[in-house]
Amino acid sequence: NEGKLQNYKIIVQYLAMFNLIKFWANVWGRIIMQVNNRFQDFQIPLAQTAKLLPNFLSP
């Protein structure tokens, strides 16, 4: 019976770990989406800057 309890504890630990990983994956997913949205706002200015940079850098 002791062995069953030990197995149960291990399963509970794994479930807790899985939920924690799922939680953090969710959080990071949201952060990345936010950053991605911000980045899309900046993409046009970045592209324009990238086009202009060679003109500034060339002697």
Quote the pLDDT of residue 59.
65
Domains of the chain, residue spans: 1-59
Question: Considering Cα of 12, then 18, then 21, then 26, what sign does the dihedral take?
Answer: negative
Q: What is the pLDDT of residues 37-57, one digit of tens each?
A: 887 777 777 788 888 888 777
Q: What is the pLDDT of residues 7-41, one digit of tens each?
A: 999 999 999 999 999 999 999 999 988 888 887 77
Percent of the chain that is helix, strand, coil (3-state, to 5): 95, 0, 5
Structure tokens at 50: 């990238």
Cα distances (Å, whole numbers) of residue 44 to 17, 40, 49: 41, 8, 9
